[in-house]
Amino acid sequence: MRIATAAYPMDFLDDWKAYADKLSAWVADAAGQGAELLVFPEYGAMELATLAGAEAAGDLERSLHAVSDRLADADGLHADLAARHGVHILAASAPCFDEALGPRPVNRARLFGPQGGVGVQDKQIMTRFERDEWGVVGGGPLRLFDTALGKIGILICYDSEFPLLGRAMVDADVILVPSCTEALTGFSRVRIGSQARALENQCVTVMSSTVGNCPWSYAVDTNTGAGGLFGPPDRGFPPTGVIAEGTLDAPGWTIGDVDPAAIAKVRDDGVVLNRAHWDEQAGRDAAPAPQRLR
């Protein structure tokens, strides 16, 4: 399958049509290049806050509500584009107020299939900014989506840095990692986490990023990143594990081809078998006994 992952710049939008035209052009571009799975980044939906005006977009609390209030419209647009182009789309994640989960918003990604199916994945572990300043909270459980393209999991940004969350996705063929990182340090952490999850699970991980400056928002004012597709550095994959990678901070799609059969083969007969040997850590991960060397 061909996967397109975005380095996505957020814009100050004049009206809904500007957003619809922008998203439609991005999807048409990737689909026109043969992509079957399109991956947008974490918090890329924050540009929807500008539809409520500059004052709302620049206020932390008001921006959360402004985006959440437009999610139903955005989801309808994504569903239509997925059906029209015959593709799967991971929409840019967004703050979402869900009464079933409490009074504070979660960070929610939505996966749209070409036949009308929709899957929802909430971020599990919040960064310091999300929990201390923004008041975004962890949401619903991890899910594994069984699609025509294979089994797909989603680890939103910071979640990719935690190996036990990655291990919960052990049956995923592809793990999507939508990210929003301010600086090169954050981008590097998520990139390393994405590669580590591909190594451990012997699968493919797909990282998307927000890029560029958004002076209209305190929350996402500065963004550093690039798209990337990673696999295990083993049989059937590049020796570096990098299937495709975009140029840092350059907006656009990074596109790579993934053979699902290669994932199954490396898991069954790789030079190493990290996925199968994971359980051998049990009993070996206790605190090491102290020993003094003279």
Band (pLDDT 50/70/90 cuts) for residue 221 is very high
Question: Which long-range contacts does 48-51 make (Cβ < 8 Å, 24+ apart)?
Answer: 48/13, 48/19, 48/74, 48/94, 49/217, 50/11, 50/12, 50/13, 50/216, 51/13, 51/15, 51/16, 51/19
Catalytic option among 157, 180, 203, 214: 157
Catalytic site includes residue 161: no
Q: Out of 36, 47, 96, 123, pick the active-site residue.
A: 123
Q: How confident is the model at residue 20 (pLDDT cuts 50, 70, 90)?
A: very high
pLDDT value for 287: 86
Instruction: Give me the catalytic one of 36, 42, 130, 200.
Output: 42
**Mind listing the pLDDT tens digit for each residue in 167-179?**
999 999 999 999 9
Residue 203 among the catalytic residues = no
- Residue 5 and residue 253 in contact, taking contact as beta carbons nearer than 8 Å: yes
Map out the domains of the chain with their CATH numbers: 2-277 (3.60.110.10)
Arithmetic mean of pLDDT, 230-244: 98
Rounded mean pLDDT of 210-237? Answer: 98
What residue type is assigned to position 173 of the chain? Answer: D
Tokens 């929990």 label which residue? 131
Q: What pTM did the predictor assign?
A: 0.97
Which residues are registered as beta bridge partners of 208? 178
Share of the chain above pLDDT 90, in %: 97
Structure tokens at 178: 């939508």
Which residue in 50, 44, 87 sits closest to 209, CA to CA? 44
DSSP of 135-199? --B--SPP-EEEETTEEEEE--GGGGG-HHHHHHTTT-SEEEEE---SSHHHHHHHHHHHHHHHH
Active site (annotated) includes residue 123: yes
Q: What is the mean pLDDT of residues 146-165?
A: 98
Give the confidence band of 283 by pLDDT, cuts at 50, 70, 90. Answer: confident
Q: If you average pLDDT over residues 219-248, what whole number do you get?
A: 98
